[in-house]
């Protein structure tokens, strides 16, 4: 059995250049030995578990949808606003909610205290036809994985399927 305690997991901070997006994350699965670079499911784990803390007035990340990943959320404390295709919903401690692939979403702190929640995400294999990509409807960008598991952000214009191929 692998065991960790949350107090022993380093909290990683990430903030956007202008500060609209700001989060603190404890990657529990990685602390339990998950190798995010491996395609071997024994090393990769079939799901990821993280504890997230979002400061007052900030969002986790831009409004987005995953092509292959499902995400389950459980609110621990604070007050959040969850944006989806139907608008925004307020969530508080004890609320759980789920997004399937293709369902755009965004989490924002809507209270005075930190918004804290667990996220459990399945772990689709990166790269290739079965990998996960993210689409950002507000900006028209995509996050995609290139060879070697490197993620890149692209924005372009729609083209026909065979464009540049023959």
Q: pLDDT tens digit string along 37-69?
A: 776 767 777 888 999 999 999 999 999 999 888
Spatial distance between the Cα atoms of 134 and 124, rounded to a whole number of angstroms? 13
Domain that holds residue 14: 6-125
Q: Say what the pTM is.
A: 0.87
The answer to whether position 140 is within a domain reads no
pLDDT of the residue at 46: 80
In this predicted structure, what is the pLDDT of residue 153? 80
Q: Could you tell me the two tokens for 76? A: 């621990």
**39 contacts 49 by C-beta, under 8 angstroms:** no
The terminus-to-terminus CA distance of the chain in angstroms comes to 54
Kindly state whether residue 28 falls inside one of the protein's structural domains.
Answer: yes
Nearest alpha carbon to residue 62 among 130, 126, 153, 1: 153
In a domain, 12, yes or no: yes
- For the stretch 8-11, contacts whose Cβ atoms lie closer than 8 Å and that sit 24 or more positions apart, written own/partner, are 9/51, 11/53
pLDDT at 9 exceeding the cut of 70: yes
- 89: in domain: yes
Q: What is the CATH number of the domain that holds 59?
A: 2.60.120.10
Among 34-38, 41-45, 101-105, top mean pLDDT goes to 101-105
Q: What is the DSSP letter of 7?
A: G
Question: pLDDT-derived band of residue 94, with 50, 70 and 90 as boundaries?
Answer: very high
Q: Which single residue is written with the structure tokens 């919903």?
A: 89
Domain count for the chain, please give it.
Answer: 1
The answer to whether residue 156 is domain-embedded is: no
pLDDT tens track for 128-164: 444 678 889 999 898 887 766 567 788 877 777 667 7
Query: Which tokens sit at 46?
Result: 């079939």
Give a yes or no: residue 141 inside a domain. Answer: no
Instruction: Answer yes or no: is 147 within a domain.
Output: no
Question: DSSP per residue over 93-107, as a string?
Answer: TT-EEEE-TT--BEE
Report yes or no on 82 lying in a domain.
Answer: yes
117/98 Cα distance (integer angstroms): 13
Q: Cα separations (Å) of 80 from 59, 76, 117? A: 9, 11, 9
């Amino acid at each position: 059995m692998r065991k960790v305690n949350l107090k022993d997991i380093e909290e990683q901070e990430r903030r956007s250049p202008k500060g609209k997006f700001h989060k603190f994350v404890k990657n529990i699965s990685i602390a339990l030995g998950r190798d995010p670079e491996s395609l071997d499911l024994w090393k990769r784990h079939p799901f990821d578990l993280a504890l997230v803390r979002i400061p007052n007035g900030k969002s986790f990340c831009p409004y987005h949808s995953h092509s292959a990943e499902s995400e389950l959320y459980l609110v621990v404390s604070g007050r959040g606003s969850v944006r989806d295709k139907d608008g925004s919903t307020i969530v508080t401690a004890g609320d759980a909610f789920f997004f399937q692939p293709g369902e755009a979403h965004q989490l924002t702190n809507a209270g005075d205290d930190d918004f804290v929640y667990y996220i459990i995400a399945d772990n689709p294999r990166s790269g290739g036809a079965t990998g996960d990509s993210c689409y950002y409807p507000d900006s028209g960008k995509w996050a995609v994985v290139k060879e070697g598991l490197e993620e890149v952000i692209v924005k372009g214009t729609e083209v026909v399927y065979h464009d540049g191929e023959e």
